[in-house]
Structure 1
């Protein structure tokens, strides 16, 4: 194993701790991260390009084999998380740009971290990846649409800017990554092996940029409610995602078994907070406070997801529940970057 791969494995194992330490460092020394504020779209493009390089035509063929579960899971994600964001803003009386930030992270596609958590909990990773892929491909359309419907009461939503930014940093790099993998196959294995580490470093840069840009107000009275709202948003997403999957099991038990319920739980509850932070800094550049909920979400959902995945695995071991189908082999584990 090369040193870069060893570093990537170490970073994956300790990513949550590294995120916390790096966020604290850039909070105390904002000069360390503020330089990247204007380049977050580039760093997110690198992440999505790396994601694309892990995909193959087989991943798209799988969508045809399980269309119902993928469609239902994607719809659940884009209904539950945005509406939860609006509800929490109403309950906690959030308004202005902070409310826009909460709703923005709620409107984002599912985070790639969910793939890792699904794997660790022995969920259906194939379904998880498929839902994540579809929700990400739909992001350039869904994020501006949902924001215009749900957040326009707080501020004029730059839907055109959101669409173009999402198109540039999500769809184009993702398609380019898939194209490179498809055309060159094993010839780019060397690049693919280093992309996990590169992607994780890129998300750290984005987090540092957001923390640095908001260090003066990150823990002020104006943003004090952001953290508990983000925590409740994430945990409620898990809960409603699981309840929804249990309901679907009663309707179609063959397609929504135990492994699929785990996958949908993580896919609903975990957001692409890196995209949320990038869209906030690009589309709402004059109000970087919009990116604060995405930054909190990025740290918190890695913690909560790890705890839930570990609990689920121990629960299954205690009850001697057989390993779920759909778990990816070790070398195909997705990387936690969002």
Structure 2
């Protein structure tokens, strides 16, 4: 299998399947919850769509040693939350409905924002080795076909066959996790001897971006007086991005595997920090005071 066939056919097709699986978990109500808790949705969306890309530019300029790695970190920051953020939110006992809503909204908006933010990243960081004409229009159309369209199809399947969707969704989620591991192996093999230096450099930057944005999301949520469950969801949604999508854009549209390195490293980082959040939340819930109850016979 040639590199071109993998990046132009296999990778987009697999991402289509993964996004179809995400659609199986969504329904129209997930896009209409803004009216029920607008403050939480607006704060989470602002964090994902504005603060995260800004932080990506700042951390890339500060820590990334090469133009390709800097562009890759910004690309990662421009991507929406994925199904992993929903899973971590569920395990951390956060507000799952809010998490799914934020994932749905960001997935819709990033069809337009990813090409624009990536173009700005090239203008900011590109050198002679990374010069490329970013196909903004083509990328928008392809992102619609590979991300939003399969989500719509998945939602339609769930609306017509909810039991089948519930049976199929976890199987596609497992496929997505295994495929992400495969992608990391492929990227590592392509980079050869340079991979150790690239991973070391990217590891620090991705960890800083991940931890900083999780902390910023949590502090902002508490500052706006959101409850613990909503704060957990916003912390995770801002901190965990769709790294598979970032890898696809880097290899299929930008044809530069080095740009995919930050997303590949981040794929490991986000599970580590996600596990920390899950552990802290379970500790918080365990230590929380139990509500007073009244015994059936009237004794307090």
Same fold, judged at TM 0.5 (above): yes
Cα distance in 2 for partners of 1:192, 1:114 equals 15
Counterpart position of 2:182: 205
Query: Hey, what does 2:115 align to over in structure 1?
Result: 144
Q: Is the Cα contact below 8 Å between 2:61 and 2:70 reproduced in 1? A: no
Are positions 1:73 and 2:44 aligned together?
yes
How many angstroms does 1:78 deviate by?
1.5
Q: State whether residues 24 and 169 of structure 2, in contact with CA within 8 Å, keep that contact through their aligned partners in structure 1.
A: yes
Task: Specify the SS of the correspondent of 2:224.
Answer: helix
Aligned position for 2:130: none
Q: Output the CA distance in 2 between the equivalents of 1:289 and 1:166.
A: 21
Total equivalences in the alignment: 283
**1:91 pairs with 62, 84, 90, which one?**
62
Q: Is the 8 A contact 1:234 1:301 kept in 2?
A: yes
**For each residue in 1:113-132, what CA deviation from the matched residue of structure 2 results, as whole angstroms up to 9, or x when unmatched?**
22222222221111111111
Q: Which residue does the alignment assign to 1:17?
A: none
Tell me the SS of whatever aligns to 1:123. coil
Q: Distance in 1 between matches of 2:263 and 2:47?
A: 20
Instruction: State the alpha-carbon separation in 2 of the partners of residues 315 and 117 from structure 1.
Output: 16
Q: Is the 8 A contact 1:44 1:202 kept in 2?
A: no
Task: Give the match for residue 263 of structure 2.
Answer: 294
State whether residues 127 and 260 of structure 1, in contact with CA within 8 Å, keep that contact through their aligned partners in structure 2.
Answer: yes
Q: Give CA deviations for 1:234-265 in whole Å, capped at 9, x if unaligned.
A: 1111111111112222xxxxxx2221111111
Per the alignment, residue 90 of structure 2 pairs with 119
CA deviations over 1:178-219 (Å, ceiling 9, x no partner): 112223333555434532323323333333332332233211
Residue of structure 2 in register with 1:262 after alignment? 232
SS at match of 1:214: helix
Q: The residue matched to 2:259 in structure 1 has which SS?
A: helix
Spell out the pairing of 1:104-115 with structure 2 (5 A cutoff). Answer: 104-115=75-86
* Native 8 Å contact 1:37 1:210 kept in 2: no
C-alpha distance 145-261 of structure 1, shift in aligned 2 (>3 A): same
In the alignment, structure 1 residue 50 sits paired with structure 2 residue 27: no
Distance 2:229 2:191 in 1: 40
Which of structures 1 and 2 has the bigger CA Rg? Answer: 2
Q: Work out whether residues 26 and 100 of structure 2, in 8 Å CA contact, stay in contact via their aligned partners in 1.
A: no
Query: In the TM superposition, what are the counterparts of 1:1-12 in structure 2 within 5 Å?
Result: none
Say if 1:104 and 1:276, in contact at 8 Å, map to a contact too. Answer: yes
| TM-score, length basis structure 2 | 0.85
C-alpha deviation, 1:44, in angstroms: 0.9
Select which of 274, 295, 301 maps to 2:244.
Answer: 274
2 CA distance for matches of 1:205 and 1:309?
26
Q: Tell me the equivalent position of 2:171.
A: 194
2:129 maps to what in 1? none
| Helix, strand or coil at the partner of 1:225 | helix
Q: Over aligned residues, Cα RMSD in angstroms?
A: 2.4
